[in-house]
Amino acid sequence: MSTLVPQMSITEFRKLKVPQLRQLKCYEIYADGEYLFTFINPSTTFIRVQTEYIGQSSNAVSGKILEEVLGNVSFISV
């Protein structure tokens, strides 16, 4: 739990429309008191590039693609 980034519930986050999301500051998103993710709104190109770099690093360590999560992946072995 961050003390520098405000928090919001996933319910509140889902109610927001795209124009509202573009105005929003960065937030930590929670559901039932459990941390889900941090919403980063890159207001400058520099922040966007840094966010992409950190996201790429995070993806290299763990996580699944959407198709894996949904069970729609068929692996081809050579």
Residue 37 forms beta bridges with which residues?
Answer: 29
pLDDT tens digit sequence for 14-41: 999 999 999 999 999 999 999 999 999 9
pLDDT at 76: 59
pTM of the prediction? 0.75
pLDDT tens digit sequence for 4-17: 999 999 999 999 99
Residues in Cβ contact with 42 at an 8 Å cutoff, skipping those fewer than 6 apart: 48, 51
